A and B are shown apart, each in its own frame.
Chain A
């Protein structure tokens, strides 16, 4: 598999109390475990099964993903910001890998 690189689009500035949209994308085949290879052997499942979004260390949004989520999983959601700080996003792979991305935001 190609190098897995998470991508996040989040605003850099926001006003206090504003609800901002965050869009995330990560390249991953999300192998469902339903498919078979050329010789008819089942291809084992390997997906991203958990996504977590934290702000200043506090988890505010999470998703448990199933094989029915498309390859290169896209997620968009919202956050209500009261103070400046840093977002941390984590993707958990079936193989134990964790992919992480951070974004800081200035709240005025």
Chain B
């Protein structure tokens, strides 16, 4: 029995194994450069750079709560809500809120502009996320004070695909 299995099975196993190996190498070769060419991802450094353009420096985390699903099954439409902990009076209010994603082809997602008549610095939208990444929300008050919130989202199927 053992001998029979050995002589028959090994060769089949070998064929399967070598086929699998070849396939893995082939897909590996074709997928990696393809991804690199199609999706030049933003990075954390780029996000920091974009924040600096707007605010001069990257603010400490706090003051902004970001509500996103822990795991997003569909990266094409990920619901997001942010809330800035600030009064919305004529003297002290949130002016701009910038939403960034550090793993998308471009870091910017949207910029929201508020006034005291906005009532509260809260808004919701739906965004595309190409893969698991951090969503960063920075807020600027009318006096220039800045705040930041951050949340990681695990994305099962990426958006932005083509």
Contact = CB atoms under 8 A, between A and B. Distances in A.
Interface of A: 19-20, 32, 34-36, 43, 55, 58-71, 73-80
Interface residues of B, number: 35
Contact of A61 (B38, B113, B127): B113
Contact of A74 (B104, B109, B124): B124
Contacts, number: 102
Main secondary structure of the interface of B (DSSP, over half): mixed
Interface string B93-131: 000000001001110111111111111101111111100
Nearest to B74: A70
Contacts of A63: 110-113, 123, 125
B114 A61 contact: yes
Contacts of B111: 63-64
A76 B118 CA distance: 11
Given A19-B119, A64-B111, A79-B119, A69 B104 contact: no
